[in-house]
Chain A
């Protein structure tokens, strides 16, 4: 092949190499998830570790989720009231707020917030343990690092995400009430009635399925990036900071991709 031909094909070659890398990375992440999921049920000793992680990932996220949920609900209440009032349909405000929160915004924004608050810290924690030989120390002590470090976090995410999503839903609806009813003067009875009548079990279960999938994505991506920090070109503290950035960006992108796929399948 001549130099000119190589030059023309270079972008295609680069794209092919990047695709292969991506597919291989996704495969490795899936195996990482499968292993950590299997180890979640390895012993009763996992329970106290999982409880500690629920406190860190779930309980400590309550305040930020409540705050974001309140303001998201308030904004939706305000914007939707404005749009509906143009058609004289203010009575449907409750349905609009509830459906947009339960089906879409609560699972996605909860996942984003937990990624920023707990996901980044999971990557940094495991990454630092990796570069300071703490993970090697676990292996030498015949303690499976996946079982000790990753599985309790996965279990905690699977428990915490749906609970935090529910909290987001409820506080978001209260936020919508605050602006749509209290501030803009909408009808309180109509708001609550429309929430009750418009929400089907399918909407609620769809939101929970999304939150569980997002829990798997956030935990797997963040723990995977931390766990393999030592394989990066920069192996020291810089490697940890790069792993953390990659984990947060990749989690957010994958959440949005998965959200689209799930929305098209579930509804």
Chain B
């Protein structure tokens, strides 16, 4: 099995949700190995939920997830352990352990899964922290870092074991445009240099256009689009066109989860209430 097939991820008839209530239904897509797949969708469309089910953090309501042809819910304990050590996940807020310094956070998987000496671990940690520009912050605790720095630190930790598949949950949310672009470049560089498979969950169109080889769009509880970036850009589907052109027109509420503002609420004159207080 070549490398690309080995890390192909297939979602077959997958229905995911919480407490038996489906968030995304009947997902049938293939995420090709060695490429960057962006799972795109509005807020609340079920992107992060889908990602957590792909990563086996929750059991799906129906369907299955295969990685390299193996059903991840049917793996033996040892096979699952081998698979997990090939995966990395960058959480939305970094999910760094608050009681550990940045150094110890990045070193954690190395200490738990390898028999490397502390000197070697320190070298790896410095290299990974350098990769995301945090080599000077290794003694800091997560609560001393900014949101963007925590995210980059989370990426360094996800990279600690040199994963072959890297999942990123909203990597650019909360970052300024310069840092967003830098993180996008880093993800593309990781794919190119280490031949990694990346699955990126995002609603950032600019980021998607910079990094995506393959795009899956979620909306209205199902998959709206599955194809290449070029195919998505050429789509004539009205929902997708609105999303891509950032237009909130009629019917947008079906795709996005924002309620329409009530004009009566907008017209309330607060000054009379505020005036009573003075």
> Which A residues have a C-beta under 8 Å from some C-beta of B?
45, 125, 128-129, 132-134, 136-143
Contacts and interface: CB of A to CB of B under 8 A. Distances in A.
A136 B92 CA distance: 12
Contact of B93 (A125, A128, A133): A133
Given A133-B95, A137-B97, A142-B113, 9 more contacts: A133-B91, A136-B57, A140-B88, A140-B89, A141-B108, A141-B109, A142-B81, A142-B85, A143-B109
B84 A140 contact: yes
A129 B99 CA distance: 10
B112 interface: yes
Contacts of B55: 140
Nearest to A45: B112
8 contacts: A133-B93, A134-B97, A137-B89, A137-B97, A139-B57, A140-B55, A141-B161, A143-B112
A132 B109 CA distance: 19
Nearest to A125: B99
B98 interface: yes
A134 B96 contact: yes
A133 B167 CA distance: 15
A188 B59 CA distance: 68
A168 B128 CA distance: 49
A132 B91 CA distance: 10
A141 B88 CA distance: 7
B228 to A, nearest CB: 28
Contacts of A125: 99
Interface in B48-65: 52, 55, 57
A141 B91 contact: no
Nearest to A142: B84
Interface residues of B, number: 24
B278 to A, nearest CB: 34
B7 to A, nearest CB: 16
B131 interface: no
Of all A-B residue pairs in the complex, the 10 with the closest CB atoms, nearest first, are A142-B84, A137-B95, A133-B95, A140-B89, A141-B109, A143-B112, A133-B91, A134-B95, A134-B97, A136-B57
Contacts of A129: 97-98
A138 B89 CA distance: 11
A128 B96 CA distance: 12
B181 interface: no
B87 interface: yes
Nearest to B154: A137
A129 B109 CA distance: 17
B87 A143 contact: no
A133 B108 CA distance: 16
A164 B159 CA distance: 43
B87 A140 contact: yes
Contacts of B85: 142
Contacts of A137: 89, 91, 95-97, 157
Contacts of A138: 97
B277 to A, nearest CB: 29
Contacts of B161: 141
A132 B55 CA distance: 17
Contacts of B92: 133
A142 B87 CA distance: 9
A216 to B, nearest CB: 24
Given A141-B109, A142-B84, A143-B112, A132 B57 contact: no
Given A45-B112, A142-B85, A136 B98 contact: no
Interface in B73-104: 81, 84-85, 87-89, 91-93, 95-99
B12 to A, nearest CB: 22
A35 B112 CA distance: 19
B95 A136 contact: yes
A132 B112 contact: no
B84 A134 contact: no
B89 A128 contact: no
Nearest to A136: B57
Nearest to A138: B97
Contacts of B98: 128-129, 132, 134
